[in-house]
Amino acid sequence: MQQPFDEIKQYSKTVCEQIRWKKAHNIIAEEIENHLCDQRDAYISQGEDEKSATQKAILQMGDAVSIGMELDKIHKPKPQWAMITLTAMLMLIGMLSNYFIDSSEYSLARFSLAPYIIALTVFLICYLLDFSILGKYAKHCYFITLVISFIGLLFSNPINGGAWFLVGRSSVSLSYLSLIFPLAYSLLIYALRHRRYKGIILCGIGYIPFAIILLLVPSFTGFALFTISALVVLCMSIVKGWFGIDKKRGLLLVFIPAFIAVIAAIIYIIQSPHSLNRLSAAVSPYSDRNGSGYIYCLVRDLLANSKFVGKGTAPAQFGSNVPIIPASGTDYILTALTYNFGWIAFIGISVVIIAFSIFGLYYVTKQKSVLGTIVSSSIMLTFVLQAVIYIISNLGYGILSALSLPLISYGKAALIINSALIGFMLSVFRTGDILKDSIKSPIKVNPIFSYEDGKLIINFKGN
Amino acid sequence: MSIDKSLLAGSTTTLILKLLEEKDMYGYQMIETLAQKSDDTFNLKAGTLYPILHNLENNGAVESYEEEADNGRIRKYYHLTSKGKKLLQEKHQEWITYSSAVNRILNGGGKLCSNHLMK
């Protein structure tokens, strides 16, 4: 004979069988089963026995198949085709620009499709992956990132004033860690959000090791990118009330130390000749044209001689022998493209990036769950900050050096990391609707004695 | 007296929104409250309620969160958003227009009735 609770299970299973999107099954089944149990208990308290109470409750709910079909119309994943198209466009632009830059300046042999195939695979994996695992293992993600970065730093080699990690014949700049840190840090915020003021203080402590690693690399751009996005996500979490504390006090708890840190940073910059030098070079590069102002002057001269369409004219001082910008594929791809193909290339790429940013930020605000909002906003910030820093630097006004132009500039590690991040973000946009937040933390301690479905359960293990 | 299902169908969304205007509720609670408030006139089927609720949530009129009840059961509470409040106002207005028109005709096309309502 079928047990009453089995009947409830069977009913919710029939409802779910009509719903094609499997991810929605658990949440719908839970709601329906709880409803039936509530209704059954109400009938029992009116004097019905359990079996007939269950049957009446099921009858009250209605036909399982037609409910399932109704719910199937409502619950569907929402692939954001506009954003997928924009991602594909960015990747394609990156591929073409790197191909043409290489072919005109070096040799075709340097161009390889392999990183793009890897990046596309990584993107698809992250896109199809259930991003809620990030929430399940939020703290693990933070600590694993921390340990790997620390090991990477220990075994890194200093090249061109920055730390690089050598893998076989390729090398990865550790400054790219700053692309992963915002996401890892936002997961820490997610994990600590129930812990009120203590949670904010712990988030403050959690910020320090990542910041120190980036200052040791050293990557000031990475440090700025991580700090700004960490600050924004933390403040957003406080303002949205996820820490469950007074918003003004919470913000003060963040802003006071942040303000002190900014003052300390300014004092450090004023006292460090290297930083001052860089600052003065960015502000008035022509005063030290052949020294620290060299790149700034070159970038501005090339842009001043760029046409709207077509290759720019040679700046007068160089004659026909126009110098190549050092590392143009990595750090100055926009400048190089603008000079070689005209401002139209610059405008075209900027439009795609701006469209991606606007769509992305719009979908971030549409997220309903805490995890969805935290993950997508930290990734979106990483994208926007990278792009803004890169564009300013490519216009010849960058106080911060360029890190990467997402999916476009040359750099295998940055390409793959950005593909993974965007994959995760689009996965949030596609399936984030179904994710729900529990107000109470899901930690549950089972009692030794419990009563369920008419059975007395004695739990010897205590868990 | 139980009423014709099709009559209830048109106004269910409005009634649900109105219930949520007072406080956040979970599905079973809504059905119970609705039955109580209407002296069992509105016996809403749960199978009708959830598709409507999920649809309202998709459109941003309500949002949901889970909370654990004393008996350990997880309950999904629904909360009316500002968009939902606007929708309720529209639906309420629509209902006033509709019901006064029905009343006018049922009462024998009395212009007096509608004038009375206008005042």
**Residues A14 and A136 placed together within one structural domain of the fold:** no
Please say whether the beta carbons of A116 and A407 come within 8 A. Answer: no
Lowest mean pLDDT among A155-169, A343-357, B26-40, B77-91: A155-169
Q: Model confidence at B114, in pLDDT bands (50, 70, 90)?
A: very low
Residues 6 or more apart whose Cβ sits within 8 Å of residue A313: A305, A307
Reported as a single tens digit per residue, the pLDDT across A175-226 is 898 999 999 999 999 999 988 889 999 999 999 999 999 988 888 899 999 9
Amino acid B108 reads: G
pLDDT in tens, A20-36: 888 888 889 988 999 99
A contacts of B50 (beta carbons < 8 Å)? 28, 31-32, 35, 67, 71
Min Cα distance B91 → chain A (Å) is 21
Average pLDDT score over residue span B41-62: 87
Q: Residue A285 above 50 pLDDT?
A: yes
Cα A240 to Cα A143: distance, rounded to the nearest angstrom: 25
- A240 compared with A273, residue with greater pLDDT: A240
Residues A29 and A146 in one domain: no
Answer yes or no: do A66 and A96 share one domain. no
Distance CA B21, CA A384 (A): 39
Six-digit token string for B67: 């909370």
Contacts of B55 in chain A (CB under 8 A): 74
Beta carbons within 10 angstroms of residue B62's beta carbon: 24
Under an 8 Å CB criterion, which residues of A touch B?
Answer: 27-28, 30-32, 34-35, 37-39, 42, 60-64, 66-67, 70-71, 73-75, 368, 433, 436-440, 444
Establish if A439 belongs to a structural domain.
no
Q: What's the distance, Cα to Cα, between the start and end of chain A in Å? A: 31
What is the rounded distance in angstroms from the CA atom of residue A198 to the CA atom of residue A121? Answer: 40
Q: What is the pLDDT of residues A146-186, one digit of tens each?
A: 999 999 888 887 777 777 777 766 778 888 989 999 999 99
Are A101 and A190 part of one and the same domain?
A: yes
A124-146: pLDDT as tens digits: 999 998 888 888 899 999 999 99
A63-115: per-residue pLDDT in tens? Answer: 999 999 999 988 888 888 999 999 999 999 998 888 877 545 554 456 788 88
Across the interface, of B28, B48, B51, the residue whose CB is closest to A38 is B28
Q: Which domain holds residue A390?
A: 81-434
- Cβ pair A105, A99 in contact under 8 A: no
B14 vs chain A: nearest CA distance in angstroms?
Answer: 19
- The distance from CA A185 to its chain's CA centroid, rounded to whole angstroms, is 10
Query: In this structure, are strands A162-167 and B74-80 parallel, antiparallel, or unpaired?
Result: unpaired
pLDDT in tens, B55-76: 998 888 998 888 888 877 788 8
pLDDT tens-digit profile of A392-451?
A: 999 988 888 888 999 998 888 899 999 999 999 999 998 877 776 654 433 334 445 555
A154 and A233 in one domain?
yes
Please, where are the H alpha helices in B1-119? Answer: 5-9, 12-22, 27-37, 46-58, 82-106, 111-118
pLDDT of residue A168: 66
Cis amide leading into A182 (omega within 30): no
Residue A461 belongs to a domain: no
Taking Cα atoms as reference points, which of B7, B33, B5, B11 lies closest to residue B20?
Answer: B33
CA neighbours closer than 13 Å in the CB half-sphere of residue A389: 24
- Total domain count, chain A: 2
Taking the CB of residue A81, how many other CB atoms lie within 10 A of it?
Answer: 8
What integer best gives the mean pLDDT of chain A? Answer: 85
Pick from A60, A74, A439: CB nearest B54: A74
Distance CA A332, CA A326 (A): 8
Range with the lowest mean pLDDT among A240-244, A279-283, A325-329, A446-450?
A446-450
* Other beta carbons less than 10 A from residue B105's beta carbon: 11
Both A34 and A125 in a single domain?
A: no
Residues A26 and A143 in one domain: no
| Residue from A340, A385, A337 nearest A360 by CA | A385
Rg (CA), chain B: 17
Q: Are residues A111 and A254 in the same domain?
A: yes
Which tens digits make up the pLDDT trace of A297-327? 888 888 888 889 888 888 777 777 777 777 7
Identify whether residues A176 and A65 lie together within a single domain.
no
Give CA–CA dist A111/A106, Å, rounded: 10
Residues A263, A266: Cα–Cα separation, whole Å: 5
